[in-house]
Amino acid sequence: MADGTPAWDVSLRSPYPAAARDGRVYVAASDQIVALNAADGTRVWSVPSARTTAPLLVEGGWVIAATEHAIVALRSADGSQVWNRPLAGAGVTPAIEGDNLYVPLTDGRLLAIDLRTGKDRWTKTFVGPLSEVLAFPDRILFGTGDRNFYCLRASDGERDWQRVRLGAVLRGRPAADDQHIYVTSMDNTLRAYRRTNGALLWHPAVPFRPTTGPTVIGSVVLVAGSAAELSAFAASNGQSAGQITLEEPLVMPPAFGHSGDAAVMSAFTGTLSGPWKLVLAGPPLAPPEAPRE
Per-residue confidence band for 7, with pLDDT thresholds at 50, 70 and 90: confident
How big is the chain, counted in residues?
A: 293
Residue among 233, 234, 243 nearest 265 (CA): 243
12-41 residue pLDDT tens? 989 898 999 999 999 999 899 999 999 999
Q: Rounded to whole angstroms, what are the CA distances from 210 to 103, 138, 183, 222, 293?
A: 23, 28, 10, 10, 39
Residue among 266, 272, 232, 226 nearest 250 (CA): 226
236-256 residue pLDDT tens? 999 999 999 999 999 888 888
What are the structural domains of the chain? Answer: 171-293 (2.40.128.630)
The whole-number pLDDT of residue 164 equals 95
Residue among 135, 47, 50 nearest 97 (CA): 135
Q: Rounded to whole angstroms, what are the CA distances from 134 to 39, 139, 175, 247?
A: 31, 9, 7, 32
Q: Rounded to whole angstroms, what are the CA distances from 159 to 124, 131, 151, 175, 198?
A: 10, 17, 6, 19, 12
- Evaluate if residue 280 carries a pLDDT over 90: no
Q: Dihedral sign, CA of 282, 209, 95, 98?
A: positive
- Per-residue pLDDT, averaged over 281-292, amounts to 52
Residue among 216, 223, 148, 129 nearest 181 (CA): 216
206-246 residue pLDDT tens? 999 999 999 999 999 999 999 999 999 999 999 999 999 99
Q: How far is CA 231 from the centre of its chain?
A: 18
Model pTM score: 0.92
256-269 residue pLDDT tens? 887 777 888 888 89
DSSP state of 225: B
- Evaluate if residue 136 carries a pLDDT over 90: yes
Distance CA(67)–CA(127), nearest Å, equals: 22
Distance CA(240)–CA(224), nearest Å, equals: 14
Residue among 183, 191, 189 nearest 207 (CA): 189
